[in-house]
Amino acid sequence: MGLLDSTMEVLQDRCTESFVVVDNSGSMEHEDATIYSKNYNGVYNKIDNVSRWNEAIHKTLEIAQYNIARKMKTSYYLLNPNIKGQWELNLDYIVLDPYSRFINNDLKILETYILSDRNIRGNTPLDGITNYFSGLFDKNFYNENKAICLNIITDGEPNNSDTFTNSLKLIAKSHSVFLVINLCTDDDNVVEYYNKLDTTIGNELSGLDVIDDFESEAKEIKKVKNTFFVYSYRIHLCRQAGCYSIISDQMDEITFPIHYITKFIRELFKQEKPKIVEGKLINNQLNALNPSKYLGRIDKLIQDSELVYNILTHSFEKPIDISKLKWFIWKNYILYKISNICS
C-alpha cells in the first residue's frame, strides 16, 4: 500500500488506516438531525429536521470521498449486522482501498446496499463492535507500530457504558488508536456522555475527538478565541474523517499558542516542514527575532489563496484573517521578549 497523499489532506493525519462504524439503530429514524448542503455558489445551507440516519449517510459518504482522495484505506461497518456478532463483507461492511481497481464499485456498494434504509435495526451495542475490533486489530496489526483511526458515527450512548469503556481500554493497551465520535444528535445527555468519555479515557487512547455539526463546531472554536482563521467546511470534514493531530484535536478546546498557529498555517497552505538551522526556524516559519518577515510571507500566501465560506458570518472570506494573525503573533512575540528579560 502506498503513502497517504498529503496534498489532499487538509491537516496532516498520523493515522495510516481507518475504521468507520455507522450506527444503524432504530433511534436513527428520529427526524431531529442536521445536514449541510453546498449550493452552486459555494454557500453551505443548513437543513434541519432530517433523520439522524440521513445525517449519518451524508457524513459517511463525505468521509469516504475525502479518504479516497487522500489515499486512506478505510473499512465501513454497520453497528448492527444482519446476524448478531457476524459482519459479512459487502452486506454488513465494505473495505474501500483507494489503490484497488474496484474502488468505484465498492463505493457504490457502500452507498446503495450498506447504507440502505432497510438496514436500520437494533440498538447501540458499541461494546460488541469494539470487542470485535480488538480481535481484528490484534490479528491484522500484530507488532505493527501504526496509528489507527476508529470513527464512530452515532446518535446515542452505548447499551453498556462500562463494557464499552473497558473494550476501548483493551484496544488501547496494544494499539495506537485515535477515536472520533461523530454525533448525529443534539441530545445534551449524549453530548455530555461523550465529552466525559474524552476526559475519562482520552489519555489512554492516542486521542479522542467529539465532533458536532459544522456550525456548532465553528462556534466552539470561536468561543476559545481561535479567531485568526475561518473554520471552513474543508477543515470540518478533515476532523469528521478523523485527524490524529494536536491542532485538529485542540482547536475547539484551547486558544492556540504560537507553535500551534505556525503548524496550522504551514499545513493549511501546504508549506514545507520547518528546518532547524543554528537553533532557529526557517522555511516560512516564525523566527522569534523577525516576526515581520514571517508575517510578510504569510500575507502573500493569504492574498494568493481562494475565499472560503464562513458559516458564522454567512460570507466568503480569506482563510486567514491577517490582522488577527498579526495581533496573535506580536502578542506572543512581546511575551517572549518579556520572559527573556525577566529570566
What are 282-304's pLDDT values in tens digits? 444 455 457 888 899 899 999 99
Inform me whether the pLDDT recorded for 333 exceeds 80.
Answer: no
The set of cell numbers assigned to 177 is 488508536
- Average pLDDT of the chain? 90
Name the amino acid, one letter, at 309. Answer: Y
Q: What is the mean pLDDT of residues 24-34?
A: 96
Inform me whether the pLDDT recorded for 149 exceeds 90.
Answer: yes
Evaluate if pTM is beyond 0.85.
yes
The set of cell numbers assigned to 269 is 497552505
Q: Using an 8 Å Cβ cutoff, are 319 and 230 in contact?
A: yes
Topology given in CATH for the domain delimited by 14-212: Rossmann fold (3.40.50)
d(CA 37, CA 39): 6
Q: For CATH 3.40.50.410, list the domain ranges present in the chain.
A: 14-212
d(CA 214, CA 107): 24
Quote the percentage of the chain above a pLDDT of 70.
Answer: 91
Question: What sign does the CA torsion over 280, 284, 285, 290 have?
Answer: positive
> How does residue 277 score in pLDDT terms, banded at 50, 70 and 90?
very low
Q: What stretch of H or E contains 75?
A: strand 74-78
pLDDT of 293 reads: 85
> How does residue 5 score in pLDDT terms, banded at 50, 70 and 90?
low
What are 210-232's pLDDT values in tens digits? 999 999 999 999 999 999 999 99
